């Protein structure tokens, strides 16, 4: 009888372990696909804003004003992301991760597909740019809670010793999504004539996002709620006011995430946004060379993110993140020396691949698991939404505003100093932050994490 009971127990344990492993794999795929769609939309919209939207949606304006308005619609998506991160993050802490992740996927995917069928200024006049801005706002709201939720799902389903690796998959998805978005628009523009591309061809990549959306929805709708959220839900420990709770109980952890996000986003945007204009204006490179450099930078980033995420499972999250910030601060000096003295396309590609590859990937890889471990489960989604999205918005705003004027100085030392300063800012936040377990080991209070 005892042997039979033992066999049944072992069978149930094996079955539970197999189900847990299967759920973890499915959660990882669901997290990866969501951020892939997010940054596919992001890079596609960014590319189209600079080469298509001025003539299609703002043709009633002068060329300069039309371009400015088109790029301005891109910036609107960033302005709403902190707000969306707070609202959707709060809901994710109250009603569950899964429901919000389905919502964010639908918002992003549907908005992107609707841009692909939106009539231009020639058909509906001023209503065209108004609808374009509304769709961009929906994209921004969806994206605001996508990465945080995807990271939580990947980490909360992951085995303890694989949290860094599996928590890095949303970051890998974002990098590959950027490559796919830029490449899709480049491919269509190459295959079609300029007239056909501007008339209807540019819409094809926007409509193709529906394929990613369909696969992502299939994965997420059948995914169970995360074990961590089920645990606090069964214990009736979900937060009623998670945003207020995380601000009051873990303000220093919130500040740490915000500052690290400013550093990481600032460095990333320096290489994949600002360096494009630097290559064109200061180095005189052509569009093809610049696009190749940007694609190489994102491919290197995507390949190295899981490597550094897995490394953090062995060496610890913080040491790997600190390495990334130190590397970026040091690399800023030889990078611009090489560009100033040997500013060929090959050197440009090398700098982008090493900067966005090793530097940003070593920060981004462990960051998903690390920021999740900073916050209590009951308000982790809100903490990620508020801290990361506010930091992202500030980091994205700092780089172009400060870097562009500095690029027109006689020396590139100021650009090196800017990149170094952003890296040091993130380094200080990472070095002084503490996860919940580290705080308890040091005899501190979980609710007042030292930063």
Is residue 268 left, alpha or beta, with left meaning phi > 0 and alpha meaning psi from -120 to 50? alpha
| pLDDT tens readout for residues 17-47 | 544 788 888 888 888 988 898 888 877 877 7
| pLDDT tens readout for residues 365-407 | 999 999 999 999 999 999 999 999 899 888 877 777 788 788 8
Domain with CATH 1.20.1250.20 in the chain: 10-238, 242-451
- The confidence score (pLDDT) of residue 65 equals 57
Residue 386: both structure tokens together: 């508020």
- The confidence score (pLDDT) of residue 147 equals 87
How many other C-beta atoms are found inside a 10 Å radius of the C-beta of residue 282?
A: 16
- The confidence score (pLDDT) of residue 166 equals 94
pLDDT digit string (tens) for the chain, length 451 residues: 445 444 433 443 444 454 478 888 888 888 898 889 888 887 787 777 767 777 788 766 555 555 555 556 666 777 788 888 899 999 999 998 888 989 998 998 899 899 999 998 888 888 888 888 888 888 888 888 888 889 999 999 999 899 999 999 999 998 899 888 888 888 888 898 888 988 899 999 999 999 988 988 988 888 888 898 999 989 888 888 999 999 999 999 999 999 999 999 999 988 987 888 788 888 888 877 888 888 899 999 999 999 999 999 999 999 999 999 999 999 999 999 999 988 899 999 999 999 999 999 999 999 999 999 999 999 999 999 999 989 988 887 777 778 878 888 878 899 999 999 999 999 999 999 988 666 545 555 544 433 3
- The confidence score (pLDDT) of residue 335 equals 96
- The confidence score (pLDDT) of residue 117 equals 93
- The confidence score (pLDDT) of residue 72 equals 62
Mean pLDDT of the chain: 85
How many other C-beta atoms are found inside a 10 Å radius of the C-beta of residue 440?
A: 12
- Between helices 317-341 and 287-315, what is the axis angle to 10°? 150
- The confidence score (pLDDT) of residue 7 equals 45
Residue 446: both structure tokens together: 């979980």
- The confidence score (pLDDT) of residue 221 equals 84
- Nearest by Cα to 51 from 216, 157, 170, 189: 189
DSSP notation for 215-274: HHHHHHHTPPPPHHHHHHHHTT---SSHHHHHHHH-HHHHHHHHHHHHHHHHHHHIIIII
DSSP notation for 62-131: -HHHHHHHHHHHHHHHHHTHHHHHHHHHHHHHHH-HHHHHHHHHHHHHHHHHHHHH---HHHHTTHHHHH
- The confidence score (pLDDT) of residue 353 equals 96
How many other C-beta atoms are found inside a 10 Å radius of the C-beta of residue 19?
A: 11
Q: Give domain 10-238's CATH superfamily.
A: MFS general substrate transporter like domains (1.20.1250.20)
- Nearest by Cα to 336 from 411, 425, 421, 422: 411
What CATH number labels 242-451? 1.20.1250.20
């Amino acid at each position: 009888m005892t042997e039979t009971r033992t066999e049944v127990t072992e069978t149930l344990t094996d079955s539970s372990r197999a189900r847990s492993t299967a759920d973890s794999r499915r959660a990882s795929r669901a997290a990866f696909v969501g951020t892939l769609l997010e940054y596919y939309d992001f890079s596609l919209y960014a590319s189209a804003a600079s080469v298509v939207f001025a003539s299609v949606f703002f043709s009633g304006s002068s060329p300069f004003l039309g371009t400015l308005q088109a790029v301005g619609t891109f910036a609107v998506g960033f302005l709403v992301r902190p707000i969306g991160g707070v609202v959707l993050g709060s809901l994710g802490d109250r009603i569950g991760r899964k429901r919000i992740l389905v919502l964010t996927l639908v918002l992003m995917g549907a908005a992107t597909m609707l841009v692909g069928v939106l009539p231009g200024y020639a058909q509906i006049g001023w209503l065209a740019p108004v609808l374009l801005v509304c769709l961009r706002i929906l994209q921004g709201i969806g994206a605001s809670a996508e990465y945080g939720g995807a990271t939580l799902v990947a980490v909360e389903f992951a085995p303890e010793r694989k949290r860094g690796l599996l928590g890095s998959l949303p970051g890998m998805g974002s990098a590959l999504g950027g490559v796919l978005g830029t490449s899709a628009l480049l491919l269509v523009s190459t295959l079609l004539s300029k007239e056909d591309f501007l008339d209807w061809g540019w819409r094809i990549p926007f409509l193709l996002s529906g394929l990613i959306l369909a696969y992502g929805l299939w994965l997420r709708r059948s995914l169970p709620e995360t074990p961590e959220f089920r645990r606090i839900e069964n214990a009736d420990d979900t937060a009623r006011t998670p945003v207020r709770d995380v601000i009051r109980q873990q303000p220093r952890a919130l500040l740490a995430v915000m500052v690290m996000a400013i550093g990481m986003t600032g460095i990333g945007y320096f290489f994949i946004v600002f360096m494009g204009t630097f290559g064109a204006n200061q180095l005189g490179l052509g569009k093809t060379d610049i696009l190749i450099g940007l694609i190489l930078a994102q491919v290197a980033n995507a390949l190295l993110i899981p490597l550094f995420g897995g490394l953090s499972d062995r060496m610890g999250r913080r040491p790997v993140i600190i390495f990334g910030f130190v590397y970026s601060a040091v690399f800023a000096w030889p990078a611009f020396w090489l560009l100033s003295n040997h500013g060929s396309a090959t050197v440009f590609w090398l700098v982008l691949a090493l900067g966005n590859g090793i530097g940003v990937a070593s920060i981004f890889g462990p960051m998903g698991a690390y920021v999740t471990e900073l916050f209590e489960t009951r308000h982790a989604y809100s903490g990620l939404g508020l801290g990361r999205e506010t930091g992202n918005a500030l980091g994205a705003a700092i780089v172009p505003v400060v870097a562009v004027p500095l690029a027109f100085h006689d020396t590139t030392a100021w650009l090196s100093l800017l990149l170094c300063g952003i890296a040091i800012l993130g380094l200080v936040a990472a070095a002084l932050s503490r996860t919940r377990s580290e705080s308890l080991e040091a005899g501190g209070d979980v609710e007042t994490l030292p930063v």
